[in-house]
């Protein structure tokens, strides 16, 4: 049960962090989303993979 609590806390923190930029800079966020929509699938997959690897590496260092 403790694992689910920590996952829920992590999910809530993710939502908070992802909401900061659109809240503070809505026009910049809109422009970024439009640019991301124009990228091809391969580039988006590479960005997603890099994000996951960086997150995993940081999690390993922190824990």
Tokens 């260092």, located at residue: 61
pLDDT score, position 1: 80
Query: Residue 29 belongs to what domain range?
Result: 2-62
Q: Mind listing the pLDDT tens digit for each residue in 1-60? A: 899 999 999 999 999 999 999 999 999 999 999 999 999 999 999 999 999 999 999 989
Q: pTM of the full predicted structure?
A: 0.70
Q: How many Å separate Cα 33 from the centre of its chain?
A: 13
Q: Output DSSP code: residue 1.
A: -
Q: 10 Å Cβ neighbour count for 22?
A: 14
Can you tell me the distance from the alpha carbon of 26 to that of 19, in angstroms, rounded to the nearest whole number? Answer: 10
Number of domains in the chain: 1
Round to whole Å and give the CA distance between 2 and 57: 23
């Amino acid at each position: 049960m403790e694992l689910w609590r920590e996952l829920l806390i992590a999910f809530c923190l993710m939502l908070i962090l992802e909401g900061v930029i659109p809240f503070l800079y809505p026009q910049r966020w809109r422009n970024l989303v439009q640019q991301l929509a124009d990228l091809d699938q391969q580039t988006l997959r590479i960005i997603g993979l890099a994000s996951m690897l960086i997150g995993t590496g940081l999690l390993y260092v922190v824990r």
